[in-house]
Amino acid sequence: MRKTREILRQKWCLGRSHREVSRSLGKGLGTISATVQRAEAAGLDWAAVAALSDEALDARMYGTPAGGHRRVLPDFAAVHVEHKRPGVTLELLHLEYLERHPGGYQYTQFCDYYRHWLGRRRLSMRQLHRAGEKMFVDYAGQRPQIVDRVTGEVTPVELFVAVLGASSFTYAEATATQRVADFLASHVRALEFFGGVAAAVVPDQLRSGVTTPCRYEPGIQRSYEELAQHYGTTILPARPGKPRDKAKVEVAVQVAERWILARLRDEVFFSLAALNARIRELLAVLNARTMRAYGASRQELFERIDRPALKTLPAERFVHAEWKTARVNLDYHVELDRHFYSVPHALVRERVELRFTEATVEVFLRGQRVASHARSAERGRHTTIAEHMPKAHQRHLAWTPSRLVHWGKSIGPGTAALVEAILADRPHPEQGYRSCLGILRLAKRYGPERLEAACTRAVAVQARSYRHVDSILKRGLDRAPLPAIGARAASVTHENVRGADYYQPRSEGDVHAERTDDGEASGPAPERPGSSLDGAAATARGQQPLL
């Protein structure tokens, strides 16, 4: 239309001939003549031409619709939706279009118009990256490798990439996995590499950082939130399936793959540390390269733009912690990796949260920390704080062998000797605590003097229990003389104590039964007075044998 207007201007305003206009505009005489004829046939003059737009002038002179299309265009929104269905091709959609509009566009133009519509639909917003505003993070699609020096086994590892938005200053490192511990540790090292903290961190919605993917309100992984709180930043995950939200790191990943991984393709690494040392060397070269679009390197832009705007790193490094939900057992302990940690006894049966690192275990109830322990690797053992125990348990815990022996000495040497003997007689000293406590508390009922005498007697006859001492005191035997050591006869007269004569050898007439030749007894043995039945009867009467 620009040439058409110029032809008509020179003819009608300047009054030039066809040949002069042809030499001026480089057009043939036939074109000049046809243009003037069409304008005159449409009833136009120069004033009307100047007032019309290009589309309106084209429609007046050539009969083209204002939209520029002489045929019916397809409904490209419907075409786009149908094209997503399985097995549906553009060729099939074009045939269906021609069935509805027989005079429509052919396949080539149909596809061209569709791509033009699709290109205008996918508009990209130009992002403005301010200094120190965002740090973008992602993992590379290509994976470096480490080789086992002994077996030769090749193990793929991950390449973590972080980049600052304003300067494109880049950090990269290899990690064993993309799990939470490695993911957060890479963030910590990236922030330390940058020497400061950006106002926001923009990750992809991978499981290590986002527990609930969502376009509007993604659920951030709890340890990731703790990292953000520790460094005073915020997590802004990119929308699912929208890589343009983090286009800066998408480009950084591509650059890292081309300028770091591509240069490592023929190198062999036997450890993650060796691989990362080499990556650091290539990373320094990458950040020092001059970018043609800016006329400066990433390092120069970082020092000039991003570094002054970054927040200061906190004094302490972030330590990754994991979380677990547990219920408090009846013994007021919670379990973690087969080890048991105490909590205040009032929280029995409560559901609590455990926050644990390699060194510590913390217990939280509704967001409040109620216990803290050093982490232990001993399976099946307990870590208990005395303040978490009930008062009765604390008093029991306060008893130790040395304290019991000291209490016994305050009563007398016989009592102390008995306490020591009871504790030494048990496989575990704790098993004798109750016996000792019971014996020592008899002093309240009978007095220290009688208890000392009873304990001395119990030591002499090698009695080792609370019941023996209690029996001696009840029967007043603590006042009787001590038995002679090694004596053949008992010095105490009692119905349950047999004398020495009972055990004298019997005469031939006392033999109760004789043996026959076949070894069988010839008759039953008569019952002896004072036999074991007497002892059983005495036991049934509740009588105790005397000591």
Tokens of 25: 């505009």
- C-alpha closest to that of 163 among 173, 152, 148: 173
- C-alpha closest to that of 385 among 376, 377, 394, 396: 394
Strand order in the sheet with 170-175: 170-175, 158-164, 134-139, 200-202, 234-235
Beta pairing class for 200-202 and 134-139: parallel
Question: Which pLDDT tens digit goes with each residue over 444-491?
Answer: 889 999 999 999 989 988 888 888 899 989 988 888 888 765 544 445
- Topology annotation, domain 134-309: Nucleotidyltransferase; domain 5 (3.30.420)
Q: Mean pLDDT over residues 190-216, rounded?
A: 91
Whether the CB-CB separation of 349 and 328 falls below 8 Å is answered with yes
Torsion of CA 477, 481, 484, 488, to 10 degrees: -60
- C-alpha closest to that of 141 among 64, 277, 252: 252
The helix (H) or strand (E) run that includes residue 372 is strand 368-374
Return the exposure string of 427-453: e unless at least 16 CB atoms fall within 10 Å of the residue's CB, then b: eebeebbebbeebbebbeebeeebbbb
The whole-chain average pLDDT of the chain stands at 82
Question: Which pLDDT tens digit goes with each residue over 423-432?
Answer: 888 766 666 7
Burial class (CB in 10 A: 0-12, 13-18, 19+), 163: buried
Q: Mean pLDDT over residues 523-547, rounded?
A: 40
Tokens of 299: 């390092």
Share of the chain above pLDDT 90, in %: 38
What pLDDT does residue 512 have? 42
- C-alpha closest to that of 60 among 72, 74, 48, 69: 48
What pLDDT does residue 525 have? 42
Q: Mean pLDDT over residues 415-423, rounded?
A: 88
What pLDDT does residue 315 have? 92
Confidence of residue 505 (pLDDT cuts 50, 70, 90): low
Residue with tokens 């009867």: 537
Give 184-187 contacts, CB < 8 A, sequence gap 24+.
184/208, 184/223, 184/224, 184/227, 184/318, 184/320, 185/320, 186/137, 186/160, 186/162, 187/137, 187/162, 187/227
123 dihedral zone (left: phi>0; alpha: psi -120 to 50; beta):
beta
What pLDDT does residue 119 have? 77
Q: Would you call 342 helix, strand, or coil by DSSP?
A: strand
In Å, how far are 412, 431, 448, 471, 477 from 451, measured between CA atoms?
9, 22, 5, 11, 11
When mean pLDDT is compared across 59-68, 115-124, 288-297, 529-538, the lowest value belongs to 529-538
- C-alpha closest to that of 79 among 27, 116, 47: 116
Confidence of residue 526 (pLDDT cuts 50, 70, 90): very low
Confidence of residue 436 (pLDDT cuts 50, 70, 90): confident
- C-alpha closest to that of 173 among 132, 139, 204: 139
Q: Note the residue count of the chain.
A: 547
Query: Is it the case that residue 169 has pLDDT exceeding 80?
Result: yes
Q: Mean pLDDT over residues 496-518, rounded?
A: 51
Q: What is the pTM of this model?
A: 0.55
Torsion of CA 520, 521, 524, 529, to 10 degrees: -130
Residue with tokens 């396949």: 107
Strand order in the sheet with 360-365: 322-327, 351-356, 360-365, 368-374
Q: How far apart are CA 259 and CA 286, in angstroms?
A: 7
Query: Is it the case that residue 395 has pLDDT exceeding 70?
Result: no
Q: Positive or negative, the Cα torsion across 533, 539, 543, 545?
A: positive
Map out the domains of the chain as residue ranges: 2-62, 76-121, 134-309, 322-394, 399-497
What pLDDT does residue 188 have? 96
When mean pLDDT is compared across 259-263, 309-313, 374-378, 495-499, the lowest value belongs to 495-499
What pLDDT does residue 64 have? 54
What pLDDT does residue 545 have? 44
Select the more confidently predicted residue: 424 or 512: 424
What pLDDT does residue 527 have? 42
Q: How far apart are CA 481 and CA 144, in angstroms?
A: 91
What pLDDT does residue 16 have? 87
Q: Mean pLDDT over residues 108-118, rounded?
A: 88
Query: Is it the case that residue 541 has pLDDT exceeding 60?
Result: no
